[in-house]
């Protein structure tokens, strides 16, 4: 990358974006510009030696300001959350298309050297995810298109926009389809949390309250894979700097578990067993989803390596400490 050009992280006040800024900073890369719509006091992680800007990246002018003087752009900005948020806020999720549209337009205007877009496994066709014991999803399984309503369609559309900005304008873009990223410093309450954090919080609350029960959304037989944040950060940067990853690629663990098994792991960490109450009316997403990592192994000779047991224990400990800190 050209010297002194900014590395911009959109969505830097969020979970993955905050960790990405922290990781780039640890590596001594920069100068860094971190951007989020949230007030600075609400950012998950913030660093005083980074240029921190509060901007609404759904606005064209804000994106032009954000990318002025930039060389590399990581666009992780989105209005999103776990399945409970996605299923009840489809219009808000669709409006995120304005962010990537205006970011790409600004990238073209400023001659950005490389542009990373964070897509999602929610782009995959629903018809291939009806069986909990599904075959892992390959990149081509996004078509014929039948994406998650709202959020998934926005991600799929934005992937196509990246492709066409590359074809028509020569903007180098990289697209990763995230599969359920989790870890410390993330949302675990309030409605936007994802399954690993939500399960950890519920187990911790049951332990602290002495009421040894837990509500599980769905029948617990849904299958997923979960990628620890450190693996995600490494994968993002491997993909960003690759010369041969020119199409959207899976970035996720291939370690598939049921939601019941996820609860088992959290219970083992806590050292207790809970009565399970299944809420069959709650949002639960597709019946089965797992990442086929054949392509990332072939092109980058890599796939995530941190086990769910290891990652969830770190996440559980952080959430437990944070809950105790808030109580004090």
Q: Which residues are catalytic?
A: 151
State how beta strands 227-228 and 181-182 pair. Answer: parallel
> Nearest Cα to 252, choosing from 131, 142, 154, 119?
119
Would you give the distance in Å from CA 20 to the centre of its chain?
11
Question: Is residue 35 within 8 Å of residue 10, measured between CB atoms?
Answer: yes
Please give the structure tokens belonging to residue 96.
Answer: 């995120």
DSSP state of 55: -
Round to the nearest angstrom and report the end-to-end CA distance of the chain.
46
Please give the structure tokens belonging to residue 274.
Answer: 């809970």
DSSP letters spanning 172-189: -EEEEEE--EE-SSS--S
293 Cβ contact partners less than 8 Å away, ≥ 6 residues apart: 136, 250, 252, 254, 303, 304
Please give the structure tokens belonging to residue 85.
Answer: 């948020």
Please give the structure tokens belonging to residue 288.
Answer: 């089965």
Kindly report whether the peptide bond that precedes residue 83 is cis, defined as omega within 30 degrees of 0. no
Please give the structure tokens belonging to residue 45.
Answer: 């992680």
Q: Report the SS3 class of residue 57.
A: coil
Please give the structure tokens belonging to residue 138.
Answer: 């390959």
DSSP state of 38: S
98-134 per-residue burial string, b: 16 or more CB within 10 A, e: under 16? bbbbbbbbbbbebebebbbbbbbbbbbbbebbeebeb
Distance CA 182, CA 141 (A): 24
């Amino acid at each position: 990358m050209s010297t002194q050009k900014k590395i911009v992280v959109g969505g830097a006040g969020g979970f993955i974006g905050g960790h990405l800024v922290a990781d780039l900073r640890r590596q001594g890369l920069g100068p860094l510009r971190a951007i989020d719509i949230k007030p600075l006091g609400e950012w998950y992680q913030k660093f005083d030696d980074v240029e921190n800007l509060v901007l609404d990246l759904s606005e064209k002018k804000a994106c032009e300001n954000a990318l002025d003087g930039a060389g590399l752009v990581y666009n992780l900005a989105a209005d999103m959350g776990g399945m409970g948020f996605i299923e009840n806020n489809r219009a808000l999720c669709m409006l995120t298309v304005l962010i990537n549209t205006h970011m790409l337009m600004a990238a073209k205007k400023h001659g950005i050297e490389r542009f990373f877009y964070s897509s999602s496994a929610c782009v995959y066709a629903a018809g291939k995810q009806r069986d909990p014991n599904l075959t892992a999803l390959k990149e081509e399984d996004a078509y014929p298109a039948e994406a998650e309503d709202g959020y998934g369609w926005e991600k799929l559309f934005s992937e196509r926009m990246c492709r066409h900005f590359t074809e028509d304008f020569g903007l180098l873009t990289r697209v990763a389809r995230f599969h359920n990223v989790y870890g410390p410093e993330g949302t675990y309450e309030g409605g936007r949390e994802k399954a690993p954090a939500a399960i950890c919080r519920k187990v911790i609350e049951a332990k602290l309250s002495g009421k040894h029960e837990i509500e599980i959304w769905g029948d617990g037989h849904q299958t997923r894979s979960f990628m620890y944040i450190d693996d995600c950060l490494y994968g993002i940067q491997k993909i960003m700097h690759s010369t041969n990853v020119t199409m959207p690629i899976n970035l996720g663990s291939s370690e598939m578990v049921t939601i019941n098994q996820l609860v088992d792991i959290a219970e083992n960490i806590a050292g207790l067993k809970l009565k399970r109450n299944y809420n069959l009316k709650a949002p639960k997403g597709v019946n089965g989803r797992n990442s086929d990592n054949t392509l990332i192994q072939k092109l980058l000779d890599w796939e995530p390596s941190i086990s769910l047991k290891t990652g969830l224990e770190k996440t559980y400990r952080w959430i437990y400490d944070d809950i105790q800190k808030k109580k004090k």
